[in-house]
Amino acid sequence: MSAHSSTWDRRSILRAAAGLAAAGALGACGGNNGRGGGSGSGKRLVQYFHAYGEPGTEQAIKRYAKAYSKADVTTQWITGSNFESKLFASLLTDQAPDLFEFHPQIQLVRSGQVADLTDLIAPVKDDFNRADIQSHTVDGKIYGVRMIDDPQFFFYRKSMLQKAGIEPPRTLDELVEAAAKLTTSKVKGLFLGNDLHAVINPLIWSAGADTLNEKNEIAYHTDAVIAGLRTMRKLFTSGHLLLDAPADFWDPSALSQGLCAIQFSGMWAMPQFQQALGDDLGIMPFPKVGDAGRPSVYNGGWSVFVNAKGKNVDAAKEYVKWLWLDRKEYQEDWATSYGFHIPPRTSIAQATGKLKSGLPAEGVRLFNEYGHFDNIGWTQAMITATEDLFADCVRKGGDPEAALDRCDKTVNAELKKLFG
Amino acid sequence: MPTTTTRPVPARAAGPRPRRRLRGSRTLNFWLFTGPFLLGLAVFVYVPIGWSLYLSFFEARFTVTPSEFVGLGNYREILADSGFMGSLGTFTVFAAFIVPTTWAISLGLALLVNRLRFMRAFYRSVFFLPTACSYVAASLIWKMSLFNGVRFGLANTVLGLFGVDNTAWLASPDPPWYWLVIITARLWLQSGFYMILFLAALQNIPQELYEAAAIDGARPGWQTFRHITLPQLRATSTAVILLLLVAAYQAFDEFFNLLSKTTWGRPPLVELYYTALGQDQNYGKGSAGAVVLTVLICVVTLFQGRIMGFGRGEESK
C-alpha cells in the first residue's frame, strides 16, 4: 500500500505533533510575561492600573503610553475588587510593574518599595495642591505624583426628597430618618455600597475624630465614633438601606436605575449621573455625627509610584516625569474627559472649564470646604482593621467597644512596626 | 496480547531501523510516558508543598526566601489565631451540610436517571453540564442575578410574589442567608458529577441480585434499595464522601467571590489566603496554617478510611 511507503505515517505525525506541543508549552513558560517579546534597544516598562469604571479610561492610558517615544510602555489593567492585594503580591516577584498607581501608604516607603521622586517634582512642586504634596511626603522626600483627586460624597434625587418633603440631611440621625421616609416598596432610601466600607473614614471625620493624630497615634476611638457606629448599625438593620446591589458604590447604577434615592459615590461618577438623571441631582457631604462633629468629604484619588526595586527605575521615572508632570494636556484629559476628577495641579484646575460651573463646581466646593486627604501613615493593614471593625459591629451586630479594641490592637501593632 | 503492534514490513525495508530500538526499550517508554506528568507533579505540587513546609519555620513576611528561623513560632501563632480556628469551625458547619446533601441529591438523581426508559442520555448530560461551569462564573451569577438584594433579583422576585420583602442575601450575616447562596451554588455545580459516579456504580450491580431478591419475596422499592442497591454502592459511596470532604476542604472560590470583606463565613483556605496574601503577606504563618490543614485532611481521611473501609480489598466487604 502506498500509505506505508509514505514518510508521513500516523506515528510520525503524532510524534511531530507531540514535539510541537511540548515546544509550545515550554515557549509559553518564558514568553508570556507581559513585557512583550524581543530585545530591542528601547526600554520596556510595565505599569499597573486598577480598572476604572468610566468608558474610555483604559484606551486613554494606553494612548498616552503609546505617545511616549523613549520606552515601550505596557499597561496591565487590573480588574476585580482587590487591586491592592494583586499589586502587593506582584511587587514581590520579578514580574513586578516598573510603575503603578496606588494611594500613598508609608509601608511602601519604609520597605524601600517606592522611589524618591523629590527631584522630579521639585520644579513644579508649587503648582500642586499643597495637601497632595504633603500626603506623599515622608521626612521631606516626596514619593509619588498625584494624578487625580476624587472627592467622595452623597448624590441624591432632588425630586424624591421633595416628594417625601425632606431637606438634604445635615446630621447622621437625619440621614437615618430620611432613609426611612424615602423608602417605598420599589425604592430604598439610601445606598452606601455593599460592604459600607466607603463611609468608614467619613464617619470618623464627621464625628470630629481622625484616623491618626499628628503624632501617629490612634485618634478614631472616641465616644462620638462609637455613637456613630451604633447609629450605623441601626441604619443597617432598618431595612431602608439598599444592600447587595449588583454594582457597588463607585458605579452610578444604583441611583440612576432608581434603586435608591440617595447614594454615596464619588466625583468620578458625576458625568454618568448627570447623563442619566439630568437636573434631578444634588450632592451633599457626609453629614455630621453628634453635636461636635462637622460634615466631611474624603478626598481620595490615585497617584503614580515608581517601583524602586524594579529593573528600570530611571526609565520609569522619566516616563512619570514626561506624562504626569510635563504633558499637561494628557493630565487634563485624564482628569476631566471620562469621569470627573479634580486635577491636583492648580494651573490645570484653573484652566479646566468643565469644573467651573453647576454641579461639578459644587463638588469642587465640597472638596475644598470639607475635604480630608489621605494620611500617608494610614496603611492598608489599618484600613483592613477598620473594615473588620465595620463588619463586626455594623454588619454583624457586635459590641462597638469590643470591636474598636480589636481594631486598636491591629492598628497599634502596625504603628509600632512603622514608627517604633 | 503484544504490546507493540507489528506492522507489515515493506519489502524494501532491509534490516532493523534505528527507531525500533527506541520502541523496544521498556524503561525508556516508561519514562517517556510518565516523565512529563511526573515533572509537572514535582514542579507544581511537590516543590510548593516542600517550600511551604520550609516557609512555615521562618519569619517570612513579604518574601518567599526568608532567612530568620523561628522554629515552631508560626505554628503557635496560627493555632492561637481566632480567625484560623474559627475557619475550621466554619468548615465543619459547611462540610456537615454539604457532604450529606450532595451525597443524597446525586444518589437521588442517579436513581431517577437510571430508571428512565427514554431520553436517558439527555438527562444525564443535562445534570452533568453544570460541572463544566467554573465556580467563579457560577458565584457571579448567583451573586449578581439570582441572589442580589434588589427587587429584580430572581430570588427576591419570586419571594415578592408572596409579598415577602427584599432580602439582602449576602451583606448581612444575621440571619445567615449567605449559607443558602453558597450551598445552592455548590450543589448545582457538583451534584451532576457525583451523579455520574453513582450511575456507573448502579449499572454495575448485577441484575441477578435483584432477580434473586424478587424470588425471595423482596418488595421492589425501599426494601430492595435498602438491602441490595445501597450495600452494593458502598464502595462508591465511600469514595464519593471522601471526594466531597476533600472538595469541601478546598472550598475557596465561591466563598471568596460571594463574601467580600467579611469577618465571617471564611473557610480555612480563604482565611489562609488573607493571611498569606493580604496586607501582611505573612507567608510563614500562612504556610504553617497550610501544613496544619494538610495534616488535618490526612488524619480525617485515614480515620474515615478506617470506619468505612475505603481502600480495603473487595473480600473484606
Tens-digit pLDDT profile for residues B56-103: 999 887 777 888 898 898 999 899 988 899 999 999 999 999 999 999
Residues A144 and A272 in one domain: no
A131 and A164 in a single domain? The answer is no
| A132 alpha carbon, distance to own chain's centre | 15
**Model ipTM value:** 0.77
Let me know: does A89 contact B281? Beta carbons within 8 Å.
Answer: yes
Across the interface, whether the CB atoms of A244 and B151 are under 8 A apart is answered no
Residue with the three cell numbers 476624587:
A150
Which of A244, A250, A390 should we substitute to test contact with B (largest number of B Cβ atoms within 10 Å)? Answer: A244
Q: A–B: how many Cβ contacts below 8 A? A: 81
β pairing state of A141-142 and A137-138: antiparallel
Grid cell locating A348: 490645570
Q: Is residue B154 one of the residues assigned to a domain?
A: yes
**Assigned domain for B40 exists:** no
State the pLDDT at residue A185. Answer: 87
Is A325 in the same domain as A359? yes
B113-120 average pLDDT score: 90
Query: How far is it, in rounded angstroms, from Cα B117 to Cα B106?
Result: 19
Within-domain flag for B115 = yes
Rounded distance between C-alpha atoms, residue A366 and residue A129, angstroms: 15
Contact yes or no for B173/B262 (Cβ under 8 A): yes
Instruction: Please state the domain count of chain B.
Output: 1
| Record: contact A5-B10, CB cut-off 8 A | yes
Q: How far apart are CA A352 and CA B240, in angstroms?
A: 65
| Mean pLDDT of chain B, nearest integer | 86
Task: Kindly state whether residue A395 falls inside one of the protein's structural domains.
Answer: no
Model confidence at B22, pLDDT cuts 50, 70, 90, reads low
Same domain membership, residue A272 and residue A174: yes
A73 and A57 inside one domain: yes
Q: Chain A residue with minimal CA distance to B82? A: A406
Q: List chain A pLDDT tens, one digit each, 420 residues.
A: 334 444 445 555 555 555 544 444 444 443 344 444 433 447 899 999 999 989 999 999 999 999 999 999 999 999 887 898 889 888 888 889 999 999 999 999 998 999 999 999 999 999 999 999 999 999 999 999 999 999 999 999 999 999 999 999 999 999 999 999 999 988 999 999 999 999 999 999 999 999 999 999 999 999 999 999 999 999 999 999 999 998 999 999 999 999 999 999 999 999 999 999 999 999 999 999 998 899 999 999 999 999 999 999 999 999 999 999 999 999 999 999 999 999 999 999 988 888 999 999 999 999 999 999 999 999 998 999 999 999 999 999 999 999 999 999 999 999 998 998
pLDDT at residue A215, rounded to an integer: 94
| Interchain proximity B168–A380, CB inside 8 Å | no
- Pairing state between β A71-78 and A99-102: unpaired
User: Same domain for A175 and A272?
Assistant: yes
The helices-and-strands tally (H runs, E runs) of chain B is 16, 2
Cell numbers for B242? 471522601
Q: By the CB < 8 Å criterion, does B149 face chain A? A: yes
Question: Per-residue pLDDT for B47 more than 80?
Answer: yes
Please check whether residue B37 lies inside any domain of the structure: no
Q: Give the end of a domain, one of A298, A317, A346.
A: A298
Q: Which residue of B has its CA nearest to A198?
A: B261
**A171 and A271 part of one domain:** yes
Residue tagged 473484606 (cell numbers): B316
- CATH code for the domain of B205: 1.10.3720.10
Is B49 contained in some domain?
no
For residue range B118-149, what is the model confidence (pLDDT) as tens digits?
898 999 999 999 999 999 999 999 998 999 88
CATH code of the domain in which A54 resides:
3.40.190.10
- Say whether both A195 and A268 belong to one domain: yes
Burial of A337 (0-12, 13-18, 19+ CB in 10 A): middle
Checking if the pLDDT of B297 tops 90, the result is no
Please indicate, yes or no, whether residues A142 and A164 belong to a single structural domain of this protein: no
| Residue among B148, B295, B236 at smallest CA distance from A246 | B148
In this structure, the answer to whether residues A186 and A313 fall within a common structural domain is no
What does the pLDDT look like over B136-189, one tens digit per residue? 999 999 998 999 888 888 999 999 899 888 888 998 898 899 999 999 999 999
SS3 A306: strand
- What Å distances lie between residue A223 and A128, A209, A228, A285, A405, CA to CA? 36, 10, 8, 22, 13
Cβ-based contacts of B173 with chain A (< 8 Å) = 395-396
Is residue B29 domain-resident?
A: no
| Domain assignment present for B63 | no
| Interface touch B150/A239, C-beta < 8 Å | no
**A71 in any annotated domain:** yes
Do A159 and A107 fall within a single domain? Answer: no
CA distances from B195 to B101, B184, B202, B229, B244 (A): 12, 16, 10, 15, 12
Asked whether residue B247 carries a pLDDT value surpassing 50, the answer given is yes
Structural domain including A191 reads: 152-209+218-298
- Give pLDDT, residue A7: 46
Query: Which of B150, B165, B256, B280 has the highest number of chain A CBs within 10 A, making it the mutation to test binding with A?
Result: B150
Residue A222 resides in a domain: yes
Lowest mean pLDDT among A6-10, A380-384, B240-244, B282-286: A6-10
Q: Are strands A141-142 and A145-156 parallel, antiparallel or unpaired?
A: unpaired
Backbone φ and ψ for A83, nearest 5 degrees, come out as: -55, -40
The model carries a pTM of: 0.83
Q: Which chain A residues contact residue B260 at CB under 8 A?
A: 81, 194-195
Structural domain boundaries, residue B215? 93-264
Task: Identify whether B47 is part of a domain.
Answer: no
Would you say residue A409 lies in a domain? Answer: no
Q: Are residues A156 and A293 in the same domain?
A: yes
Of A298, A320, A335, the residue that ends a domain is A298
How many domains does the structure of chain A reveal?
A: 2
Grid coordinates of B61: 513576611
Out of B64, B165, B262, the one facing A391 most closely (by C-beta) is: B262
